[in-house]
Amino acid sequence: MLESLLEFAIQGVVLGGLYALFAVGLSLIFGVLDVINIAHGEFFALGGYLAFAGIVLLRWPAGAGVVAAAIGTGLLGLAVHPLLLGPLRRRLGRRPAGPLYLVLTLGLSTFLQSTLLLAAGGEYLRVPPHVRGVLDLGVTAVAYQRLLVLGAAVLALAALFAFLAHHRQGLAIRAVAQNPDAAQAMGIPLGRVHTLTVALGVGLAGLGGALMAPLFNVYPAVGFPLTIKAFAIVIVGGMGNLAGALLASFVVSLAEAFSVMAIPSEWQNLIAFVVMIAVLLLRPQGLLGRAVVR
């Protein structure tokens, strides 16, 4: 029994790393821009495709391929705000956006999936593991590839949190998230911060896609199920709260891992939404979100 629990815990923690890369990026974009990025999964897929291009086609070392894929996704993400979100924001002025950003990013999602399909076809592309072999822990064995995902996620998120806490631009991002008007009064250009934020957020998704490519294969819609689950994770953590998204990622992944002890594995994907509903009923602001006093 203990061995099973330990095995599920390890698997859950490893999966939590991937969820965290995805959900923290999504939460970052929402927290700063107040935009739910439906296209987040397509940047995950893009990361996979860029990793395939670098590692399989150009025969780069795996590490270089993964880093290049993350950076490449982030660079492409730099175009999202100036070309799409920014013009809509300027057009709206101070009027509420309603569902417009949702529709816009849904359109971006469809565009990106179609472009990937056109450019690379619908075949599942295979990327070889970045590291081979398994780590035998006695009670279970964990593929080094999965440990790599967890380790890279921890490093990337630690770097992000340090950037937000100490770097001038990181402080600017936090300032815009808290009070955009006051941030402008400091001389912080909103458009530039929004552009950087989107690039960081989707860059994390691209990193996740590059790391997971050997495990999930690469195809245009690979990121969509993850997007839906990440919404639930972001809500569980508290909308726009990065620490909450990080915590919720592991809460959900561990819940999923342990759930197979009680329910058929085909139902695992429901767990995130069951947790979300439970949190909404008991603590609507999320695990680390702030309650709104009326």
Partner 1 sequence: MLVVEGVRAGYGRLEILQGVSLTVEPGALVGLIGPNGAGKSTLLKTVFGYLRPGAGQILFEGRPVTGLRPDQARRRGLGYVAQDGGLFAEMTVHDNLVLGGYVLPSRRAVRAAIEAALERFPVLRDRRRQVAGSLSGGEQRILALARALVTRPRLLLVDEPSAALAPGMIDRVYDALVALHRTGLALLIVEQNVEAILGVAGRVFVLDLGRNAFDGTPAELRGSDRVRRLYLGEAVA
Q: Which CB, 172 or 212, lies closer to partner 1? A: 172
Whether the Cβ atoms of residue 25 and residue 202 lie closer than 8 Å to each other: yes
Q: Which CB, 21 or 177, lies closer to partner 1? A: 177
Q: Which CB, 169 or 268, lies closer to partner 1? A: 169
Q: Which CB, 7 or 34, lies closer to partner 1? A: 34
Q: Which CB, 190 or 207, lies closer to partner 1? A: 190
Q: Which CB, 59 or 94, lies closer to partner 1? A: 94
CB of 238 to partner 1, least distance (A): 13
DSSP symbols for the chain: -HHHHHHHHHHHHHHHHHHHHHHHHHHHHHHHH----TTHHHHHHHHHHHHHIIIIIS---HHHHHHHHHHHHHHHHTTHIIIIIHHHHHHHTTS--TTHHHHHHHHHHHHHHHHHHHHH-SSPB----SS-SEEE-SS-EEEHHHHHHHHHHHHHHHHHHHHHHHSHHHHHHHHHHH-HHHHHHTT--HHHHHHHHHHHHHHHHHHHHHHHHHHH-B-TTTTHHHHHHHHHHHHHH-TT-HHHHHHHHHHHHHHHHHHTTTS-GGGGGGHHHHHHHHHHHH-TT-SSPPPPP-
Q: Which CB, 164 or 271, lies closer to partner 1? A: 164
The residues of the shown chain that bind partner 1, judged by CB under 8 A, are 93-95, 168, 171-172, 174-175, 178-179, 181-190
Q: Which CB, 59 or 90, lies closer to partner 1? A: 90
Angle at 184 between CA 179 and CA 187, to 5 degrees: 135
CB of 98 to partner 1, least distance (A): 16
CB of 95 to partner 1, least distance (A): 7
CB of 288 to partner 1, least distance (A): 12
CB of 285 to partner 1, least distance (A): 15
CB of 293 to partner 1, least distance (A): 14
CB of 185 to partner 1, least distance (A): 5
Whether the Cβ atoms of residue 43 and residue 177 lie closer than 8 Å to each other: no
Q: Which residues contact 180 (CB under 8 A, 6 or more apart)?
A: 190
Which pair of structure tokens corresponds to residue 79? 């175009």
CB of 43 to partner 1, least distance (A): 28
